[in-house]
Amino acid sequence: MEALLTTIEQKKNQETYKLTPVRYDSIYTIPGTTQSERNIIPIVTQFPNKSFIEANTTEITLDHLNNNCVIPVFSKDNERTIAHQEFIEIALESLSRVFPNIYFDKPEIRVSHQIKGRTPGAIHKNVNDLLEHERTQYFERMAFIIRVPGIVDTINGNEIALTIGGVRSYNLENLYSKKTLEKFKFFIGFQNKVCCNLCVWSDGFVDDMKVNSYQELQSKILSVIQNYNAEKHLLGMKELSRHSLTENQFAQLIGRTKLYQYLPKNDKSTIPILNFTDGHINTIAKDYYEDSSFSRNEQGDVNLWNLYNLFTQANKSSYIDTFLDRNVNAFDFTQGIQKALIGNGDYHWFLS
């Protein structure tokens, strides 16, 4: 068993295969930059009309952020924050620099927690009498992704496309103080075409990117993209499809994940972290029977690639500020179950 585990780890570290674009395309405009532009209408990989996150979010466009939202400031010195749209435009420009000859999709943007206001001239008006230009708004939380449909691969019959994205939550900033380092979350990974689930792992994710300026944010995003090992990530995901849980093992796993929520603190400290709640686990159990793409087979077995997607599918009900962290945890957890099946690792409690 240990020899098999060692072989898998060696493959992840040594085996490589070339990620190449399926086609090149001509240019389009990156808002707010002077970069050469590429066609953003995907032709090779048409994704279904499904959101990468649901919960209490609303879809919004980059134009809406640019034209209809105010920019929050740090109240004690009136220094402005890096706006949501600037974060997205920095990511677009960084992606363009790393992949200068590859087209990519328009950003898909989801927002939540709308903060409303009004202009000074409307201070005495009743809310029902406010005109459109007298209303102000911004969104406390924002998540976005940008797909690169020219770079794709297939796992267990599912086509996946290279994807970058990020999360910004103003609730993590102290806007009532002076300007300090601002916090962002950023990732590079893949998105599953079948269900639009994101595939993110720890080596392509920064959960606490602290920056002081536009330029520093761009530098750190570029570093994450340039240092991302796509081949290693893909190999790790492909290995999942080679291992399966029986129906009894899956039932044991579900039971243990529910017990995990109520373990005494000392007991829980000896077990790897699982960031999913009872609500998520209920969705996973339901989809094991009912999901059209990742449910059990005729024998009741479910391979670990499908199990991983059951977790990432359930994660779509998470709030924006916890969404990416749980997505990373889903991959770590599924890899841990893989090692437990081989007979190694710290996740055996979930199957015992």
C-alpha span between 168 and 112 (Å, rounded): 11
99 exposure class (CB count in 10 Å sphere: 0-12, 13-18, 19+): middle
C-alpha span between 138 and 309 (Å, rounded): 33
Looking up tokens 């020219």 gives 150
| Other Cβ atoms within 10 Å of 339 Cβ, number | 19
What residue type is assigned to position 214 of the chain?
Y
Cβ atoms of 165 and 21 closer than 8 Å: no
Query: pLDDT per position in the chain (352 positions), as tens?
Result: 444 444 445 444 444 344 544 433 333 333 333 343 443 433 444 666 789 998 889 999 999 999 999 999 998 999 999 999 999 999 999 999 999 988 889 999 999 999 988 777 787 788 888 788 778 899 999 999 999 988 999 999 999 999 999 999 999 999 989 999 999 999 999 999 999 999 999 999 999 999 999 999 999 999 999 999 999 999 999 999 999 999 999 999 999 999 999 999 999 999 999 999 999 999 999 999 999 999 999 999 999 999 999 999 999 999 999 999 999 999 999 999 999 999 888 999 999 9
C-alpha span between 351 and 340 (Å, rounded): 8
Bridge partners (DSSP) listed for residue 188:
164
226 exposure class (CB count in 10 Å sphere: 0-12, 13-18, 19+): exposed
Structural tokens at position 18 = 């070339």
C-alpha span between 93 and 78 (Å, rounded): 27
